[in-house]
Structure 1
Amino acid sequence: MKSVFIAWQDKITRCWHPVAKLTYDDIRNVYRLNYTLGAVENPRFKKFSHLDDINKVYESEEIFPFFRNRLVNKNRAEYKNILEWLDIDDEESAIDILSITGAERSTDNFRVIPHPQKHSLSEYRIDFLCNGISHLSESERNNIQTLNTETKIGYKLESHPYDKNAVALFDSEKGMKIGYCPRYLSSDISYLINHNEIREKIFSIKKVNPSAPYQYKLLCTFKTEWPTDFIPNMSHEYLAVSEIKRIKKGHPQT
């Protein structure tokens, strides 16, 4: 099963809160959506259309309209290009596309956050589109066009007013910035980078898309060990409301 969280930005506080979780059950071939404590604890959050019971787990054979509207229509000319830029094929689920792109829209205040899963029992690995390329200098943007999958990537932790856990990425050979890890991953990634017991923390380029818009220009991968004490998306707001209700009633978690 693959899962993503939906984060909502409170326009008053400008803070992001996880408000729901979407899971694709590839055994039953259904999508499942449930609200999280982030939705309960933020009174300004408005529930999704036709999904107004915050305690319920919703299921559907088709992806819910909220998410479908964030996917590029398969009939649009750029659909195949986007799949190529993301290095995925048409057979993979919509949740893969949502996970890598973040599915942000300029018309609202939602984004999709991937829920990492262990690889090879003890490996953390996640793909992401490099952010912030449009804000780089002209020479840095030009340098991105010359990168390839063999380019060595360095990193530096930076603290900014808009992201206290910012992770900047660099072309190690030339010392030129290539962008940032997405903000929705920076908290987890900075925690792993700072973890004393982890030996290898590796950023690499998975794909360079010279002709793509800036947001699809550079597909990267971060790979490291998965510490025994690491919990991704570490916040009580990620807990499912339906599970909390079940536990309080004395039923075991499933």
Structure 2
Amino acid sequence: MPRNDEKLLVSWKGPKSKQNFFVGLLSKNYDSEGLNYKFIYNKEIVQQAKEEGFVPFVGLRDLNKVYYSDKLFSVFERRLPSENRHIFKKFINDYQLSNSDTVKWEYLKITKGRTATDNLSFLEPVYFDHNNLTYSGEIAGWSYTQKNNDSLKINDKVILRRDVSNSKDKEAVEIIDPNNDNERVGYVQKPFNKVFFNLLKEGYYLQGFIKSLDPYDGRPTLSIKKEITMEDLNDKELSYLIHIRDSE
């Protein structure tokens, strides 16, 4: 993919299990005719999500179809505030996007497109760029571990390891704080845990740092950068989680 192409995983949280279902893939692409957008469902995951009440998006009902548009799909665009609202103008100024032709995409990417009325969010993939893997994502399980991590700070180093005793998820990757008696901070959120579980199984030593803390509940965001070989990412089942940037 050319460098300007990007993708976001469309995540729907089940109201019963609180599990994230990655029901689709939204991408922003450039070709000879210019900018266009693409959406495709992850049919296997959609079938699982339907058991908790997921319904295909308005205007994107056909699970077997690949959708294309020269504009951001309206069902996703409606999640954004009006361009005339102060919050949107402030966003443009804060992130210096006044000259960008994809401001709406950037808003989805940075804010994750969350609203107070539903369980949908848009998450960035794992990036692979010139033998460097990078990832940034919220840490799962924080509601259970917060009380034991009250001294956690931005830029604190953390270590990833396989949680072999986890009976609920055989590919669970826990995040521990070496400066707090190896206290568990949480887990790499699903399904990104699959990428890091495989790398740990290959023998990689993985560490990251706390990039930010949510101002409301203190939930930390994990950031990772690691030099790896492309061969260790050649798992077709994981391809939708990874965006390769060094192919131009």
TM-score by length of 1: 0.65
Report whether the alignment pairs 1:214 with 2:214.
no
The question of 1:138 aligning with 2:141 is answered no
The number of aligned residues is: 223
2: CA distance between counterparts of 1:34 and 1:138? 40
C-alpha change, 1:231 and 1:6, in structure 2 (3 Å) is farther
Mapped partners of 1:129, 1:157: distance in 2: 18
Q: 1:177 aligns with which of 169, 178, 184?
A: 184
Q: What residue identity is the alignment partner of 1:157?
A: R
Which whole-Å CA distance do the structure 2 matches of 1:100 and 1:192 have between them?
27
Equivalent-residue separation in structure 1 for 2:117 and 2:207 (angstroms): 35
Amino acid at match of 1:3: K
List per-residue Cα deviations over 1:181-213 (Å, max 9, x = no partner): 2122111111112213x4x423123x334x712
| Cα drift, residue 126 of structure 1 | 1.1
- Which residue of the partner structure matches residue 245 of structure 2? none
| Cα separation, 2, equivalents of 1:79 and 1:134 | 33
State whether structure 2 residue 9 is matched by structure 1 residue 5.
yes
Deviation for aligned residue 1:125 = 1.0
1:116 aligned residue? 126
Please list the CA deviations of residues 38-71 of structure 1 after superposition, one character each: whole Å capped at 9, or x if unmatched: 2786694643211234443322343223333555
TM-score normalised by structure 2 residue count: 0.66
**Tell me, what secondary structure is at the counterpart of 1:56?**
coil
- Paired with 1:166 and 1:182, the residues of 2 have a C-alpha distance of 9
- The residue that corresponds to 1:127 in the other structure is 136
**In 2, distance between residues paired with 1:110 and 1:140?**
28
The verdict on how the C-alpha distance between 1:10 and 1:69 changes in structure 2, with shifts beyond 3 A counting, is: same
Give the aligned partner of residue 244 of structure 2: none
Identity of aligned residues (%): 19
**Can you give the 5+ residue segments of structure 1 that lack an aligned partner in the other structure?**
239-254
- Runs in 1 of length 4+ with deviation above 6 angstroms? 9-16, 39-43
Matched AA of 2:197: S
Is the counterpart of residue 24 in structure 1 residue 28 in structure 2?
A: yes
Residues of 1 paired with 2:9 and 2:63: CA distance? Answer: 15
Change (3 A) 1:69 1:231: farther
Write the mapping of 1:37-56 to structure 2, written as runs, cut at 5 A: 37-38=43-44, 44=50, 46-56=55-65
Q: Which runs of 5+ in 2 are unaligned?
A: 241-248
Shift in Å, 1:139: 4.7
Task: Report the alpha carbon displacement of residue 230 of structure 1 after superposing the two structures with TM.
Answer: 1.8
Alignment CA distance shift 1:43-1:137 (3 Å): closer
2:198 aligns with: 191
Matched residue of 2:172: which SS?
strand
CA distance in 1, matches of 2:59, 2:69: 13
Q: Write the letter of the residue equivalent to 2:216.
A: P
RMSD: 4.1
Gap change, CA 1:226 and 1:129, over 3 Å in 2 = farther
Rounded Cα–Cα distance in structure 2 between residues aligned with 1:140 and 1:110: 28
Question: Does 2:169 correspond to 1:166?
Answer: no
Q: Deviations over 1:93-139 (max 9, x none)?
A: 5556655766567865655454333212x221111122333322435
